[in-house]
Structure 1
Amino acid sequence: MSVVTVRNLPEETHRALKARAAQNHRSTEAEIRFILENAVRPKHRVLLGTLLTEIGSEVEGVDIEIERDQTTSEPMDFE
């Protein structure tokens, strides 16, 4: 687990966090984790694979024939 230190947090903000944590029956630290988790990883985020599956279902599937490039590449020479 990572550790994050927040410097120069206004006292008013800290008090508000403590009050919010108390209302939600969590410690201040747990409340901050909850807020950060929901801010950066929302429950209703769009997942690319799911979105592509839905698009394919809407158009009743798409058949695309793609021929993969079989050309080999040479490794980089840094000398």
Structure 2
Amino acid sequence: MSDNDTLTALKTAFTFMPQPVDVTRFEYGDDAGRILEQINFVREVLLDHGIDPDEVAGEINPDTSPNSCY
């Protein structure tokens, strides 16, 4: 498996992760803090590889993503 395949797998998995604003104690209980740390870890790895985490969903699933306004 190449590094590109690994990054594509990470980006795909990231699209299934909840958005940080959606991770609350009400929804996730005592796991909320751990889940936020994991989401932030993946975001940091993507950023370290020059990938904007906020654009990943549009790249992986372009047909289901809203058009950018800029």
TM-score (norm 2): 0.29
Q: Which has the higher helix share?
A: 2
Higher RCO structure, 1 or 2 (CA under 8 Å, sep 6+)? 2
TM-score (norm 1): 0.27
Larger radius of gyration: 1
